[in-house]
Chains A and B, each alone.
Chain A
């Protein structure tokens, strides 16, 4: 599956590696629902490190949809919420 890290690009992650990402991902979700910034940063940095280590970068000239989009490591809670709120028109030019 293709995973995008916002601001960094896309990684092709093998399906069998997804399970190991799941545990880390649960912690990110938990942090967001609890509104815990420190926890979010910590969980995100571990999750992103894992994606970078198990995945292979998608070449720059390849156009592909991502199955999953992860915020970058220094995203704030409000930024993640803002992305999900889908309120800002013009985020996607086109």
Chain B
């Protein structure tokens, strides 16, 4: 069968033969090969560790992104509660951008996990073969007598060479994939660091949070105001009873007339304290301020 794939096995074997031919005493080849096998085993183990590190990094990033996505959902909810559909829309738009990144990361995570499992299995297989080779090597060395040993060396050697070639390929492939992913992971880290995606630790506040907090403090001010109005409304009425009936109508009419004016001025003071222009004038430009991409 398979002219193509038979050729592939011949290539593996030809390489083994070529290496064997390099040494006059085949026993040298055994020792040399054993050294190379141990080196390869080390390399496979390092490969497994590298892949695991990359996988963990991706897991951390995915967690960060999904925390961020949850936060944006909550923000959208809050924005809707205070009747700011524009803010809610902005939050959800950003969330869908994050969702895309997250989906990509999850696909890569699955891929990397597959590579890791393959490498772990390859390293177990190679370990078993290397052990078998060592046993064989010692037997061959002990019974070394010309032609017979020569053929046994050839067998053991090409068998292990093929395995090493295969494992070598697997390591190479895992290394390539890991490198690609590391580049991508680095790009996401940069994105997170630049603040465009906002840090999942929540130490810095994004513009949506700021605006929501402003809205919240404005409504707190309104609540406070109406509480004050209510207490003032009660206060003077208590006072009028003490002072006398004649002045009462004038005092009662005052709060209702002055309340709107007072509310505005308190808001102005609040704005001045925060050193910011009136929040409602800022709205149209804000959603575009922090660009996601």
Interface residues of A (CB under 8 A from B): 4, 6-9, 18, 21-22, 25, 28-29, 32, 59-71, 83-84, 86, 90-94
Contact = CB atoms under 8 A, between A and B. Distances in A.
Interface string B1-13: 1111111110111
Contacts, number: 112
Contacts of A32: 4
B170 interface: yes
B5 A7 contact: no
Given A29-B4, A60-B124, A65 B9 contact: yes
B136 A29 contact: no
Contact of B162 (A28, A65, A90): A65
B170 A69 contact: no
A93 to B, nearest CB: 5
A8 B19 CA distance: 25
Interface residues of B, number: 47
Given A59-B128, A65-B159, A83-B11, 15 more contacts: A4-B162, A6-B166, A61-B128, A62-B132, A63-B156, A65-B155, A68-B5, A68-B6, A69-B162, A84-B7, A84-B8, A86-B11, A92-B12, A92-B19, A92-B168
Contacts of B118: 7-8
Given A25-B2, A28-B4, A60-B128, A67 B9 contact: yes
A64 B131 CA distance: 14
B131 A69 contact: no
Contacts of A94: 15-16, 19, 32-33, 36-37, 157, 160-161, 164
Contact of A68 (B1, B128, B160): B1
Main DSSP-derived SS at the B contact region: helix
B192 to A, nearest CB: 31
5 contacts: A9-B125, A25-B1, A60-B129, A65-B159, A67-B9
B165 interface: yes
Contact of B165 (A21, A25, A71, A92): A92
A94 B8 CA distance: 18
A91 B124 contact: no
Contacts of B163: 63
B158 interface: yes
